Structure formats: C-alpha cells, structure tokens
Amino acid sequence: MSLAEHLTELRSRLLKCTAAVFVLGAASMVFARPIFGILVKPVLDALPADGRALVYTSGIEEINVLMKVGVYCGIFLTTPVILWQIWGFVSPGLFPEERRYAGPFVFMGSLAFLLGAMFCYFAVLPSMFKFLLNEEESLAISQRLDVGRLRADDALRFLSIGEAERAGKLAQEASAALKAEGGGQTPEATRPPSESVELEARLAGLGRLVDAAADGFGGPARIVLRGAVEKRAEAVEAYAKEDYAAAAKAMDEAASLLAGVAPTRAEELAGLWRLEKELALGKARYVAHAWTKPMLTMNEQLSLVLLLILSFGVIFELPLVMAVLGLVGIVKAGWLMKYQRHAFVVCIILAAVLTPTGDVVNLSLMAGPMLLCYEMGVLAVWMIERRRGKQDTETGITPTTGV
C-alpha cells in the first residue's frame, strides 16, 4: 500500500471509532446522572459529613457535565472497538501466524484498561482526595469533638430520666476521654479561637442541660429552674450585644442555680456543665483550625476524576502497546533496556504532572504501576523477539536478508 492508501485506511478506522463513541455516548447519557454520582463518590466521601455536595456556577454547567459524562462513557465502552481498529490497521505488517492474536489482543486490551480504571477509582482517588480536602490535625479534632458530643448527649439523657449519678459518671468519663484523645490539650490553632463561637456553643449546651434537668427533676424544682432559664436569657441578651464577659458570667450563674434543683447532685450537675464548656472551647479551636472550606464545582471535579481514570487506563495498556510495536518491529527489547533509566525518569515526571497532590503516597500510586507496566512491556517485547527468532531458525529465514 502507498502512503495515501495507508492514510485513507487510517481515516476510515478513525471514523468508525468516532461513530462508535457517539452511539455509545448517546446511550450512556440516559444514565448520566447516576454514573456521575458513582464517579464523584470518592470526592464526596472525602468532604465533611455536613458538606458533601458539589456546586455549579452557571445555569448550563450541570447539563454540560452530564454530556461530558456521556461522552467519556462512550469512550470507555468503545475501548474494544478502538483496539480492534488498531489491530486491523497494524495487522498487514504481521506474519500470518501472528495475526491470530487479534482476539486475545482486544480482550487483554479491554481488560487492562478496565483494571487500570478500577485501580485508580478504588486505590488512588480515595487517598488522594482525603489528602487534598482534609487537614489531618483539623480532622482529628473534629472526630474527637464528635465522640465527646455523643457521650455528653448520653449523659444528658440519663439526667433527663432522673439518673443523675449515672449522668455524672458519664460526664466525668467523657471529659477524661476528651483530654486523653487530644493528648491532654487541643493543638494551637492557626488563628485565635473565636470567643463568639465558644459562647454560642456554651449557650446551646446550657440549654440542653436545663432541659434535661427539667425532665429529670421538675416538680418542686420549677422555681429554681425558672431562675436558671432567666439567667440564660440574660446571657443571650448579653451575647446579642457582644458583651461576652457578661454573657459568660450569666451562664455560670445559671449553671450554679441548677445545683439547687437537686442539692445532693450538685457535683454531677457541675461536671456536666464543665463538659459542655470543654466541648464549646474545643469547637471554637476547631473552627480556628478549619477556617477554610472547600467549595468544589461539578465540572472541575469530574474533569479531574476522568483525567485520572483515563490516565490509569492508558497506563495499564502500555505493555500491550509495546508488545504490538514489538510485533511490527518498531521497537526492540535491547533498545528498551538500554534506555530503561531514561524511561524511569520520564515515568516519574509524568506521574508528578498527572498527580494533583505533592505527597509521596499518591505519587507512588501513579509512578509504581507506570514503571511496572513498562517492565512488563519490555518483557513482552523480549519474549516476542525470542519466539520470532526460533521461528526464523526453524524456517531458515535470517533477520538480515528476510529470506
């Protein structure tokens, strides 16, 4: 075939691949929304529990995202067709006995692409987005406070059913655990804790404590509880006027009045109030640590996820591509081994460019499979050359003369 005939055949095969992408992509658009939800699941799982959502910044962004999902799904599903067209294009340069590998080539190529995509989705994306979207120290403080809040709520429930002694023990245990899990103290924040955040959390905690005391004691203690509620109301007024010192004083006085509800349980009630104050201070320090909040758009996150999935799919195709090039005779195992060190450097550079994080773990998850696939490709080319050499020896054909 002449060069023009080769180009004509290449155009024909590219048109077939494009048509397959459009047909399968259009079919995939019917399920674009659930597919999009699956693709961005690693992103959502890495976000805080109360902020697991993606935003769009224009009226047509959501439609564009769903269309992009359909197109990329079409590319993914068209992988066997693309591989078959590639094989059809290079097969005229192969020996007759080598052309029978068409079926295994398409099957192994599709399987390799699928394995690469799955490796990226299950191994790379979760760790990468957790590294990108979570500051380790802030995450530890948040988890510690969540557990402390759950324990404090249980203590208040015991108080509400009249078991003040059990409530006091739980409060003491929760306070000790809160300090122990934090190494005895909460790490210093990147900026000073907000006094308003701490007092707001204290007001909410005092309200829960008053409600639990009213449910657990009530009756003759109504007068004392009324005084505590009035003091809390004074604290709210002082907080609204940004008189934080007066608000803190009024809340402490309200907590002291609660001791009159059950004088024999004053110590337990005081322990519950101390726990609420510790949780409020912890929340203020957490807010001071986590003063930045991710706001991720649908288009950007989808583009990043698809780029990485397709990149890993292509990386896992590397041994197969090298094997085909070895069959055609474009590359030799000796040449690949000679420039092996250069290939390693190129793989690491590509991994660093494709990986959006700068940590060693995610870089290794990208560079490791790339280097392994290169070595597998070298081995495949070497085995092909060895087998071809045996066939040439048996048939009496020499590589130099081709006779």
Find out whether 265 and 168 touch, Cβ atoms under 8 Å: yes
Mean pLDDT for back-to-back runs of 10 residues, the chain (403 residues): 77 89 89 92 84 85 90 87 81 70 78 90 88 73 85 91 89 85 48 78 92 78 84 92 91 87 83 92 82 83 89 88 80 86 86 72 80 89 83 61 36
DSSP state of 302: H
Residue written as tokens 């099957």?
107
Three state DSSP letters for 1-65: CCHHHHHHHHHHHHHHHHHHHHHHHHHHHHHHHHHHHHHCHHHHHHCCHHHCCCECCCCCHHHHH
Q: What is the pLDDT of residue 393?
A: 74
- CA distances (Å), origin 398, targets 96, 250, 333: 17, 99, 18
Find out whether 199 and 287 touch, Cβ atoms under 8 Å: no
Q: What is the pLDDT of residue 98?
A: 65
Per-position b or e across 119-148, b if 16+ CB within 10 A of its CB: bbbeebbebbbbbbbbeebbbbbbebbeeb
Q: What is the pLDDT of residue 398?
A: 52
Report the alpha-carbon distance of residue 235 to residue 230 in Å, rounded: 9
Extract the tokens encoding 306.
């698809």
Hey, CA dihedral for 284, 285, 288, 294, is it positive or negative? Answer: negative
- CA distances (Å), origin 140, targets 79, 147, 317: 43, 11, 40
Q: What is the pLDDT of residue 397?
A: 54
Q: What is the pLDDT of residue 39?
A: 93
pTM of the full predicted structure?
Answer: 0.66
Contacts of 352-355 with CB under 8 Å at 24 or more apart are 354/307, 354/308, 354/311, 355/128
Extract the tokens encoding 29.
């658009």
Q: Report the 10 Å Cβ neighbour count for 382.
A: 16
